[in-house]
Amino acid sequence: MTCNCTQYQPIELDRISIKRRIKESPAIRKSLVVLSENTELRLSLFQCPSCEQFWQSGHEWNFGDEEYLFQVPPISIEEWLEESYKQPAAMMIYSAMMSDYYEKLGDDQGDSSCRVDGCSDRVVRFCVFCKQHQVESLQGQGKLPQFPIGRIFPPYDGS
């Protein structure tokens, strides 16, 4: 039996590719076997019985929480349960929100140095922190998204 795994390219980190993959996913899922499930994160690890390709599911509230599947490198179930792969839509939303925010912050610096102990960087204009600590502070307050959890994998690691 042949499969269609190689027909699918890695999801590009844009809305169109993610939406397209959400549509394709029910058909992809049909030919896969579930290897494991992480019920806390509501993620599944799959394998194709013909070519042995591994797949993982993802979902993102920003896309109606609908499930989509993407290819991932081979991994043992134990390792996967410990830490699953990063979800492409989460990576995309994170980088989009962060670059919007960085743009809003701008490059103007104030005269004083960052309020964080041991940090000698100058503050962002009208802030009490430097750029990095301003972002970290807002992440801590839940006002900016956290860096997406999970293992990075090709091609998203830049390879």
List of residues contacting Zn ion (CB under 5 A): 3, 5, 48, 50-51, 53, 114, 116, 119, 121, 130, 133
- Residue with smaller CB distance to Zn ion, 5 or 98: 5
- Residue with smaller CB distance to Zn ion, 66 or 121: 121
Q: Taking the complex as a whole, how short is the minimal distance between the CB of residue 100 and Zn ion, in angstroms?
A: 21
- Residue with smaller CB distance to Zn ion, 46 or 63: 46
Q: Taking the complex as a whole, how short is the minimal distance between the CB of residue 6 and Zn ion, in angstroms?
A: 7
Cis peptide before 145 (omega within 30 of 0): no
The answer to whether the CB of 47 falls within 8 A of the CB of 33 is yes
Q: What is the token pair recorded at 157?
A: 């690691």
Q: Taking the complex as a whole, how short is the minimal distance between the CB of residue 64 and Zn ion, in angstroms?
A: 27
The answer to whether the CB of 33 falls within 8 A of the CB of 53 is no
Q: Taking the complex as a whole, how short is the minimal distance between the CB of residue 128 and Zn ion, in angstroms?
A: 10
- Residue with smaller CB distance to Zn ion, 96 or 138: 138
Q: What is the token pair recorded at 104?
A: 């809003």
- Residue with smaller CB distance to Zn ion, 63 or 70: 70
Q: Taking the complex as a whole, how short is the minimal distance between the CB of residue 38 and Zn ion, in angstroms?
A: 22
Q: Where are the alpha helices (DSSP H) in the chain?
A: 15-30, 77-82, 88-105, 131-140
Exposure string (b/e) for 16-46, b if CB count within 10 Å is 16 or more? ebbeebbeebeebbeebeebbebeeeebbbb
